[in-house]
Amino acid sequence: MKLQFKLALYNALTKFAIILFTGGLIIISLARISNHHIELRLRQKKAELLAHLSSKDIDNILHQQKAFSDFNIFQEEYIIITPINSLYDNATEVTFTTEARPVEKRMQSFRILKSGFNYENHGYLLEIGETIDAVDELKSTIKGFTLLMLFIALSLTLLIDLIFTQYLLKPFYQIIDRKLVKVNDPMNFDYEKISTTTQDFKLLDDSISSLMVKISNLFTLEKQFIANVSHELLTPISIISSRLENILQQEGLTEDNENKIFASLKTIDRLKAIIKSLLLISQIENNQFNKKDQVNISEIIKEINQEIADRLEIKKLKFYNNTNAAYTMPGNRSLMYTLLYNIINNSVKYNRVGGGIILSDTQTPHTYTLEINDTGIGMDAIEIEKAFNRFEKLNTSEKESYGLGLAIVKSIAAFHEVGIQINSTKNTGTTFILTFKKNPHLH
Amino acid sequence: MNILIVEDEKSLILEVYQFLTNEGFTVENVYTKKAAAEKILVNNYDFILLDLGLPDGDGFELLKILKDLKGREDAVIILTARGDVNDRIKGLEEGADDYLPKPFSLNELLARIHAITRRKHKLESNDIDIKGFRINIQKRTVLYGDQRINLTKKEFDIFNYLVLNKKRVISRTNLTEHVWGDILEVNSDSNFVDVHVKNLRKKLSQFAPIDWFETVRSIGYRINI
């Protein structure tokens, strides 16, 4: 989950909790306060009633020893006085209850004061009730209102939080996007500062930039080193090989010496091939090749097929070209040729006699996938992991493997933004999967 | 034919000098751009072997000086350790006749010199006769009498190269380098050459014995005529 959404979610949850808590608190305290007020009023009324007991009307009623009940006009209050047969010992004791009473065919909740009193040697039970329906209504109104407020406040703050955190975190996401995600080569790093007033982001940006400076310096140094060393080695090699060739032209050389010189020339060729491969890799990595050709993959495959026809024959291999998509990409033709050649040539080299090589492809609107499948000796997971490393050789009887073929493949693939994956089972075969992005960025 | 070598690496000059002198060329050496410019202004050469990285300047500048002179037909072969494709293209575009990246084989250099010579003089010797086999380099055909021998591209290239370097032992690696190119082919194992040579021999020997087509022990091949 993105940081932005996490923050917004957190804010929403805390707000929800706060509103829930305060809402609950308000409702509870509202109930208690209103009860308290009602009880106060009821006590006052009782006091008033007892004070007016001497008045004639009540007097009469009470003397008739009948129960007296009275509702006021709005049926919000009532008084019931019921005579009882004994006197009250503790006439001042007051109890409060909440009960439902029928009022005009419907039940209404009342807060009821119950108390006994003695009047002229008679005991009476006094009940004064006051409706609390109004309070309940108020409570439910407040509940609804709180809920509504809760909902509005939540959605509003969620929206504001999202907008604000988006604004706040924009530089952060810019840093991630421009400085981390889109950087596949330190050489193409964008050193332009991301404008932000947040100190932490500034620090992050600066740290990444300075780290990248260090990395790219090392990178350049390594590339320069390889290029220089390779370059400087070529001339001496040229001298040695020319000298040996000249010696060979001399008459009277013994067969033994001639063989030794040829062996030396072969060693020099090997050295030359290694240096050239390293130079090629360094040139690819330094972007010294252009990508101006329209490269037709199936054409290249046909060419390679012709080129390796003799090798296929030697090993009695069958070459099945099941590709049928006419895929053309912008790139460097000779490099793409080398890439496919090295992979297919490996399929030949590491194949068993009488085996096969199968090429197939699939296309989606955004990608073109080419699979090169062989029935060779295969690789285990550790070998696959190391396959693209320089000077990594499989245990093979191949004398002239320098362990650079797949390193070249890797750098060419990276140069053309071609995805490359190896699936392999030991002693069964290997599949190279090349994924070409359609319309990749052109630098 | 006279050749001017412009190269600052003296040991290399020495070897190229020795080789080309043995081949019957007249060879002169210069080590700097300045000296080379003087030589070029004074003499006409059949070939100028030009190194790009000279101590006092760039070989391309010499190429420009040469091309500014009217009526000069000196063929230029650039010899350089710069394997850069762009350098190669630039050199050829600015009027060099060929480009040979270091380290190169002296035989390869000789083959290129021969090729340029033929191209320049449009020699009749496009037809080379080897004991009744007539090779036409232009048309890339091999005839025995009136009969055409069907060779594959590789077989022809191998035969052609061996013929151009006849009486000389050509190693398998040397042959591979010439026929398959040396730029991108890295892991070439030399036994494919044997297969092609075997096929080539089979095709040729159907017409006449080819005891002049020798296999030299474990080294390579030689056309011994």
DSSP chain B: -EEEEE-S-HHHHHHHHHHHHHTT-EEEEE-SHHHHHHHHHH---SEEEEESEETTEEHHHHHHHHHHSTT---EEEEEES---HHHHHHHHHTT-SEEEESS--HHHHHHHHHHHHHHHHT-GGGEEEETTEEEETTTTEEEETTEEE---HHHHHHHHHHHHTTTS-EEHHHHHHHHH-SSS--S--THHHHHHHHHHHHHHHTTS--TTEEEETTTEEEE--
Better-predicted residue by pLDDT, B117 or B97:
B97
Q: What is the pLDDT of residue A54?
A: 66
State the pTM of this model. 0.61
Kindly report the three-state secondary structure assignment for every residue of A148-160.
Answer: HHHHHHHHHHHHH
What digits encode the pLDDT tens for the residues A366-377?
Answer: 899 999 999 988
Q: What is the pLDDT of residue A222?
A: 81
Record: contact B102-A234, CB cut-off 8 A: yes
What digits encode the pLDDT tens for the residues B29-41?
Answer: 999 999 999 888 8
The span from the CA of A262 to the CA of A247, in Å, is 10
Record: contact A314-B192, CB cut-off 8 A: yes
Distance from CA of B60 to the nearest CA of A (A): 18
**Contact assessment for residue B76 and residue B97, using Cβ atoms and an 8 Å cutoff:** yes
Instruction: Collect all residues of chain B within an 8 Å Cβ-Cβ radius of residue A239.
Output: 9, 11-12, 15
Chain A residue at shortest CA distance from B154: A307
Record: contact A276-B177, CB cut-off 8 A: no
Kindly report the three-state secondary structure assignment for every residue of B103-151.
Answer: CCCHHHHHHHHHHHHHHHHCCHHHEEEECCEEEECCCCEEEECCEEECC
Chain A residue at shortest CA distance from B171: A262
Question: Is the pLDDT confidence value at A112 over 80?
Answer: yes
Distance from CA of A265 to the nearest CA of B (A): 9
Instruction: Collect all residues of chain A within an 8 Å Cβ-Cβ radius of residue B105.
Output: 241, 245
Instruction: Collect all residues of chain A within an 8 Å Cβ-Cβ radius of residue B200.
Output: none
Distance from CA of A176 to the nearest CA of B (A): 36
Instruction: Collect all residues of chain A within an 8 Å Cβ-Cβ radius of residue B103.
Output: 234-235, 237-238, 241-242, 268, 272
What digits encode the pLDDT tens for the residues A228-265?
Answer: 777 788 888 888 988 998 888 787 888 888 888 888 88
Record: contact A237-B22, CB cut-off 8 A: no
Distance from CA of A322 to the nearest CA of B (A): 25
What digits encode the pLDDT tens for the residues B57-103?
Answer: 888 889 888 888 877 888 999 988 776 667 778 888 888 899 888 88
- The count of CB pairs under 8 A between chains A and B is 115
Instruction: Collect all residues of chain A within an 8 Å Cβ-Cβ radius of residue B102.
Output: 234-235, 237-238
